[in-house]
Amino acid sequence: MQVANASAVVVGGGSGIGRGSALGLAAAGARVAVADVDPVTAEAVCAEIAAAGGTAIWSTVDGTDRESLAALAARATGAFGGVDILSSNVGVVADVPLDRATEQEWAWFLELNVLSHVRAVDVFLPHLRAGGGPAHIVLTASMAALVVPAGVGDVHLGLYNATKHAVLGYAETLRGELAGEGIGVSVLCPGMVRSNLSATSARHRPARHGGPMEALAGAAPPGVMEPEGVGPFVVRGIEGNRLYILTHHEAVPLVQQRHTALVEDFTYFAGG
């Protein structure tokens, strides 16, 4: 589908990869609803788009709440006459060694990294279908859905890696189920991108999962991709209806290593 003149909703659009996606979609001519649990950042991204000559509205949304997502869908439909593109970006990270992970921590990660996408899709799918034309869903997973880094520095990423793999399986299956309707599904799998993920994960941890907590320390290493760099990949992924949106080509050897290990184990067991 063409992004120009489409209507897009970006959940988690106030910062990082969601912001980069919103800017990229707007630059390609989409009308964009920027939605975030943090209204200040959503409004700021909306203003950035307007300043660059694009069309945007902003809204507060809690991506873990179906009613809040439904209100966002109603607002975007009211403003733009429909929704053609859903970009779903909510996610969390924290340092949790697997042998110490509690059920509550698992529930937090599963809800924010997996169910946030499921809820967004459930709520927006009827709107994407209602347009009657081509539509597209972009679900942000991570490179951690394709390969398993042991950790970044000494940060334990087991909950992150496991839940990002769940997003991959969900997105791949959803793509197959919706293909006949002309609704594309892409899974965005970036490597490191400069963002506020540690801070927003800690700040917005819902009360039912323990409430706000102290953020992981540490800044992104130099040389990471800027969020603005992600937007053009998202546009190309939608327009080319690609299953995987891959922003970090340098990760190819890591993906090959994983597949080599898989084939080696097939070979091992084929040997009897």
Site residues for ligand NAD, 50-89, by CB under 6 A, read: 61-64, 89
Between 134 and 204, name the residue whose CB sits nearer to ligand NAD. Answer: 204
Supply the minimum distance, in Å, between the C-beta of residue 99 and ligand NAD: 23
Which of 31, 34, 36, 94 binds ligand NAD (CB under 6 A)? It is: 36
Q: In b/e form, how buried is each residue of 216-233, taking b as 16+ CB within 10 angstroms?
A: beeebeeebbebebbbbb
The residue range among 49-57, 101-109, 190-198, 207-215 that interacts with ligand NAD, by the rule CB under 6 A, is 190-198
107 binds ligand NAD (CB under 6 A): no
Query: How many chain residues bind ligand NAD (CB under 6 A)?
Result: 28
Instruction: Based on the residue annotation, tell me whether 160 is a catalytic residue of this protein.
Output: yes
**Shortest distance, position 239 Cβ to ligand NAD, whole Å:** 21
* Residue 117 within binding range of ligand NAD, rule CB under 6 A: no
Based on the shown chain and the rule CB under 6 A, indicate whether residue 204 belongs to the binding site for ligand NAD.
yes
Residue placing its CB nearer to ligand NAD in the complex, 81 or 221: 221
Find the catalytic residue in 160, 170, 244, 268.
160
Q: How far apart are CA 190 and CA 185, in angstroms?
A: 16
- Closer Cβ to ligand NAD, 24 or 91, answer by number: 91
Residue from 76, 162, 197, 238 touching ligand NAD (CB under 6 A): that is 197
Give contact residues for ligand NAD (rule: CB under 6 A).
11-12, 14-18, 36-38, 41, 61-64, 89-91, 140, 142, 190, 192-193, 195-197, 200, 204
